[in-house]
Amino acid sequence: MIALSSTILGNGVYMSAIGILSKGWVGDLPVQLGRRFCALGQQVSFGPGEIVYSAGEEANSLYGCLGGTLRLSFAGENGALRFVHLMGPGMWTGDFAFLSNQPRAFELRTSEAARLLRIDRGAVLRLAHDHPETWKWLAFCTACNLGLAMTVADHLMIRDAGKRLAATLLRLSARLGSHPSVAPIDRLLLTQSDLADAANLSLSATGRLLRSLHSQGLIDVSYGEIGIVNAPRLQSLVEKC
């Protein structure tokens, strides 16, 4: 675990974190506030398949992704987890439960080795005491993630299964719904069962549609991984009347 300090702007770890996280919501903040905010955090590392936080936990921290990919799964009314989305560098999570002071509704688990910037509640409260506009920008972070949630809902209402799957692949690869400056994720570390959940399709339909997309040269499919090969053509499938 590496503490970041805004007082040492030449520090390689700190400047690297700023560079990565500015490709997302933090990049919209006033420069000095963004630096102060990131300086509150600690870099934490996780191995593949490790849980960062669980559904039902008290939300005492925010997390920004510095490297690797992570998976968000929603806990339904019966407590069963259902895969929803992937998180990559520049993205933030944990904000809604953090601001509402409600238990977390999602589980966050790594898909591969990952590095995160963790910012704890006490540090945010101290920053907000000196810089009250911090609350406005945290609300903006939540608004961005709410926009992503609306994108998820919009895609799930697409009646055509092929279009719905293509839209889901574009969303999971950070090409639809995410902050426009976030880098796309070309390697989706998920199973066909995960994708079926995310697109609300049967496993058999998902497999059939993936084979079709692969035969058209739009994606690569291997065990536990889907590669985005031709995103513009996937986009054209979604937009096709």
Structure tokens given for 174? 């950070």
CB contact set of 216 (below 8 Å; sequence gap of 6+) = 233
- Asked if 108 and 69 touch (Cβ cutoff 8 Å), the reply is no
- Asked if 108 and 70 touch (Cβ cutoff 8 Å), the reply is yes
List, in sequence order, every beta strand (DSSP E) within the chain: 2-3, 42-46, 51-53, 61-67, 70-75, 81-87, 92-93, 106-110, 114-120, 187-188, 219-222, 225-228
Q: What is the pLDDT of residues 92-132, one digit of tens each?
A: 999 999 999 999 999 999 999 999 999 999 999 999 999 99
Q: What is the pLDDT of residues 22-62, one digit of tens each?
A: 888 899 999 999 999 999 999 999 999 999 999 999 999 99
Surface-to-core class of residue 16, CB atoms within 10 Å of its CB (0-12 exposed, 13-18 middle, 19+ buried):
middle
On the question of pLDDT at 227 being above 50, the answer is: yes
- Asked if 182 and 24 touch (Cβ cutoff 8 Å), the reply is yes
| Residue 147 confidence class, pLDDT cut points 50, 70, 90 | very high
The whole model's pTM is what?
0.90
Domains, the chain: 2-133 (2.60.120.10), 158-239 (1.10.10.10)
Q: Which residue bears the tokens 């697109």? A: 199
Query: How many Å is the Cα radius of gyration of the chain?
Result: 18
